[in-house]
Every structure is written in structure tokens, then in C-alpha cells.
A and B are shown apart, each in its own frame.
Chain A
Amino acid sequence: MSPPQSPPPASPPPASPPAGSPTRNPIAPLLESLNRDHLDPGYAEAAARKRAAAAGGPAPGPGRRPSRRLVLVVVGCVVAGGVLGVAASRTESNQTRAENTRMALREDIDRAQERQSAMESAATDLAEQLRASQAAAGAAGPVAEVTQLENQGQLTPVTGPGLRLVLNQPPAGQGQTNAVILDRDLQLLVNDLWAAGAEAISIGGVRLNTRSAIRQAGGAILVDNRPVFWPLTVEAIGNSSAMQVKFISSPSSGRFSSFAQLYGIEFDVSAQTDLRLPGGTAPEQRLAQPLSTPPTPTG
């Protein structure tokens, strides 16, 4: 990669090939020049001009004063440096702006989630009041039936003895970096809890109803589309001693125990005498209509 202005000592004649042998498209000239001519050819030309002028006479022209050249260089360098500085400051300010936007969005999400949980608890309270006033108004029989149905549908808060399971992901930076607890594992665990005789289950404070889904979105676990956070507390109400015996011998318990040994996840099972589980949200029914009208109109 010699500068193109240097006198060619042994440059191959590119224009005149040896007679008889046609040039067979040696190298694409564009790529060749990209690879060779890094310096602006103007410099070489200017140098050649100067050399010719110096050879021609000692006093070439009045316009080439050194001070003027210096001013040109300084101005050019200031402009070039200014461009670099402006670009740097602009990149910086863009970064902070993006960060601010992200923070604001996260705050919005947090606020919306807080509002959601507040409204949910308000709805539960109102339902409680409604039931109480219905009972006071003398509609005790049907209301008791409704309460029982709601209880069966996992809609009312419940309390009782049961098991508490605490799960957590393996601590980061311990060799097995890609070992994570997946939604599949949680689904198996919950299924085994039901099979062991659980009557009500909540995961991370979200009560499971008959149509709850446990899914994964990125690194977060969603229970009924609500994110739950590690460490997860799974609470199951049921006959704690019988449930514990059954659950310990279930496949998912063995699965999680081996996870704990192999990957260092947290997995604690403890029997509790008094668990309190929140009420669940009723799955929405848009199209399904009941066959017979209920005995009491909705109130």
C-alpha cells in the first residue's frame, strides 16, 4: 500500500498488456483503488504542483503565504473537532433521554399495577358488603348458595392449614448460568399439589382458579397474566400432613429436589397451620349463557 504519489519503482504497466495476451479482467478497478488509494489524490497533485513551481522559479506566487495556510488548517481542524464534539454530546444526551423514557414507562407500569391490585381489593370488599347486605335483606338461602358456588369456583378468600413451598432461581454467577426454573416445572408442581389433595392454591399471592394459566414471558413467570416475582411462594390449603406425604412422593417434588441438589435452586416445603389465600378473579364468560335462569335475579 504505497502512496500513489511515490515514484513507481517497478509498477506493473496496467494499461499496455503484453501483445497477444488479452487482459482477463485482473481485479475490479474499483476494489483495487479502494484497497490502494487511501489518501486523497489532491495531496499528491498539490505536492507535484509545488515541486514543479519550485523547479520553475524561486518566487512562485504571492497567494501561498504560510499564515494563510495556517489559518486554513486551524479553521478546518476546529470545524472537524467541533463535529466530533457535537456528535459526542448529542449521543450522550440521546442516551440519557432514552434512559429517562424507560424509567418513566416503568413507573407507569408500576402505578398501573398498583391501581389494579387496589381496584381488585376494592372489588372484593364491595362483594363482601353486597353479600352482607343481601344476607341482611333476608335473601339468606340463595345467597348462601351463591357463596358456596363462589367458594367452589375459587373466587372467595379462604383460610386453613396447608403447605407452603418457597422456590427461588439459582443464584447468578454460579457456573450453571443457564439453569432456570421454567413455567413447565411450576405447572407440574401445581398439578401434583392438586393431585395431593390441595383445595386452594396461590402462587406468589395470585389465587389459581379453574382456568388459571402459568406461563413464561422472558424471564418472568405470569400467573393469570399477572407477573409474580422470585422467590415464589406457593401456598396450598389442604390436610397438611396427608398432603405432605403424598406430595413428597410425587414426581415434581423429586424433580425440584434434584434441581436443588444439581443447580442450587431454593426449594423449601413446610407445613403451616393457618394459611390465608386471596380470592381469585372469575374467568370472563362472553358467549356462554346459563341454560336456566337463576332463581334470584342478579343483585
Chain B
Amino acid sequence: MTGTDGPYGLNSVTLTVPSQPKYLYIVRSALYPLLLGAGFGKRDARRIVLAVDEACSNIIRHAYEEDPSGTITVTATDAAGQFTVRLRDYGRKADPSSIAPRNLEDVRPGGLGTHFMGQVFDTVTYDTSEGEGTLLILEKKKQQVKA
């Protein structure tokens, strides 16, 4: 894990984990204190961590199709009035037109991750313009921080 003055500035932390569920606790463990430090309350911080965890799970399932040899690079940036999480993978490109939260009235297993991301973050952007894989950008405005 590195603090960096790279492309996202001094207020960014970047870590890379293998595309395996057992490593996602590292992402959760790193994000939670960063969110508290950024001024989010515990409940909001928990929800943001959950949404990022769901995004990572979706990358493992859909971009890497459970292939454990991939990587997910997570960059968390606390700057300019918002908290941004960027998730970079090098698997199958996401197709934003096919990604939609399911109808919650339909009680069935699966499909909740996208709903969590949309509910927790202000914007969810899939950028497939560069090379292999997808850059998923999750943004949360800090003025919506609740104590």
C-alpha cells in the first residue's frame, strides 16, 4: 500500500490485491479508517466500504470470471470536497449498458451489488477507454457526510 503524489495527488492511497475474495478484507481494512479520517461517520463509512467491496466482487466474478491470477488496483482519494475510489482491473471490459440494479421487489439471490454502489455513491462511472479492462470510478461528495 502506498501514499502517493502520483496522478491523483498527495491525498491518495493506492493498493493492489489479487482477484481473489480472500484478499478483499485488505481493501475493507484500509478504506474504513481513511473514510473516518475524511470525516464520514461510522455508518456512512461502513456503507462505502460495503459498496467498494461489492464492486471488487463484481470485478472478480465478471471481469476476471473467477480467474485468481488477475489484479485489482484500488486508489482512494480524499480531495476537492469529495471522496473518490478508483478500481482498475485488466479483465474483460465492463459493458455499462448491461449493468443495472435489479428490482428490489423481486426477492431473489444475487444482483444487489450494483444497487449498493448506486445507492451509496453519487456517481458510478465505467471507463473502458484505455487498454485492457475497466476503470470504475466511484464518487461521494463530502458535503453529504453525516455525523
Q: Do A and B bind each other?
A: no
Residues of B at the A interface (CB closer than 8 Å) are none
Residues of A at the B interface (CB closer than 8 Å) are none
